């Protein structure tokens, strides 16, 4: 039976004590919008594009403070070295499949050139994970139109999760995965700030939820599944806290650390990257480092919950070569977490 799409909190899985934003999504950071283009022919193509678009990028302000942290560099994050060198983000962040990343970068360049007809140099930022377990990745089906549609139709509403956009064909921790998102609001000094995270989950390890192991070998019979090697996770962190590039690098590191909470193996073939950016007005002084602990906690909790949402919202998918990636069985998860006393009753 096909499961209805849920989020972690629908099952009573609540990560940490911090309050969420209105939608519990990266779009709770004012001005940040998300768009998806999904390619799914029901057979051998399960892929797509996800775009995170900071609305603050525009005339009069063509860059935002940003940082990239490389947990393991087995991947292709186009444009990352300039972000690392200059500490700024100049484009929407586009996620897609490994062999389509270069076509996506060219399409993003088209978008940037159209917006800035007088510009001479641009730095599109495009990341990827390998969805070749379920999708015929060598066909490179992503076109300029797919990328531009994801960007131009991006919305501030709660982003779709699971098997959508760049997560259409991904698998993580033995189960079908995809896109996930979450957010937290925290008090920093005399101001309230929001931290939001979005993940493209496609990595290996043993799933752990609220400290309870949920190994695929026990929840899904071995004869009823196939499992690819772990191969990558992309994490995007947005915040309205006034932070400089150095401080955003500290947030990006904690985003990678949060993968360990859900059981990531950080394997040789897993390209694990985090991108963090701030939308705060440039005239605001950075938060003192001594006040960053609540922001760090917000990153860890929002990324952990986003990763769980990426699995819980996903649905069983069959793809190229007859392979099937099975969804996380919700009933079994609830039973295990209830037995361990980890579930939170509905409000």
> Where in the sequence numbering do the catalytic residues fall?
232, 270, 272
Other beta carbons within 10 Å of 205: 19
Q: Where are the alpha helices (DSSP H) in the chain?
A: 80-86, 101-115, 144-152, 216-219, 245-261, 293-312, 330-339
Q: At what angle do helices 293-312 and 245-261 cross, to 10 degrees?
A: 50
Encode 94-128 in three state secondary structure.
Answer: EEEEHHHHHHHHHHHHHHHHHHCCCCCCCCCEEEE
Rounded CA-CA distance 146/111 in Å is 12
Rounded CA-CA distance 232/159 in Å is 21
Beta partners for residue 234, in sequence order:
200, 273
DSSP string, 140-175: ----HHHHHHHHHT-BSSPPP-BSSGGGTT-EETTE
Phi, psi of 176 (to 5 degrees): -65, 135
Rounded CA-CA distance 268/248 in Å is 26
Residue 151: which of 138, 142, 141 has the closest Cα?
Answer: 142
Query: ∠ at Cα 307 (321, 338), nearest 5°?
Result: 105
Q: At what angle do helices 144-152 and 101-115 cross, to 10 degrees?
A: 60
End-to-end CA distance of the chain: 28
CA 305 to chain centre: 11
Alpha carbon separation from 109 to 83, 96, 114, 313 (Å, rounded): 16, 15, 9, 32
Half-sphere exposure of 25 (CA within 13 A, CB side): 21
């Amino acid at each position: 039976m096909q499961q209805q799409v849920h989020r972690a909190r629908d099952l009573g899985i609540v990560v940490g004590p911090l309050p969420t934003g209105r939608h519990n999504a990266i779009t709770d950071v004012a001005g940040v919008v998300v768009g998806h283009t999904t390619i799914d022919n029901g057979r051998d193509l399960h892929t797509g594009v996800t775009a995170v678009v900071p609305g603050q990028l525009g005339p009069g302000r063509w860059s935002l403070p940003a940082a990239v942290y490389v947990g393991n560099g087995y991947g292709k994050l186009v444009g990352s070295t300039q972000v690392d060198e200059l500490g700024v983000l100049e484009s929407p962040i586009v996620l897609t499949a490994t062999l389509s990343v270069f076509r996506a970068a060219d399409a993003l360049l088209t978008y940037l050139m159209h917006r800035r007809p007088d510009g001479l140099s641009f730095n599109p930022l495009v990341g990827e994970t390998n969805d070749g377990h379920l999708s015929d990745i060598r066909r490179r089906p992503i076109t300029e139109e797919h990328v531009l549609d994801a960007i131009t139709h991006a919305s501030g509403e709660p982003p779709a999760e699971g098997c959508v956009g760049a997560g259409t064909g991904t698998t993580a921790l033995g189960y079908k995965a995809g896109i996930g998102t979450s957010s937290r609001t925290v008090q920093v000094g005399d101001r309230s700030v929001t931290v939001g995270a979005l993940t493209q989950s496609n990595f290996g390890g043993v799933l752990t939820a609220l400290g309870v192991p949920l190994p695929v070998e026990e929840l899904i019979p071995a004869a009823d599944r196939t499992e690819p090697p772990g191969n990558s996770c992309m994490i995007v962190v947005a915040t309205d806290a006034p932070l400089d590039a150095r401080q955003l690098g500290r947030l990006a590191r904690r985003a990678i650390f949060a993968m360990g909470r859900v059981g990531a193996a950080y394997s040789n073939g897993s390209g694990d990257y985090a991108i963090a950016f701030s939308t705060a007005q440039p005239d605001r002084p950075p938060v003192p480092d001594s006040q960053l602990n609540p922001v760090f906690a917000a990153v860890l909790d929002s990324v952990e919950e986003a990763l769980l949402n990426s699995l819980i919202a996903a649905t069983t998918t069959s793809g190229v070569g007859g392979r099937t990636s099975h969804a996380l069985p919700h009933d079994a998860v609830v039973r295990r977490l209830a037995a361990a006393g980890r579930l939170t009753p509905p409000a």
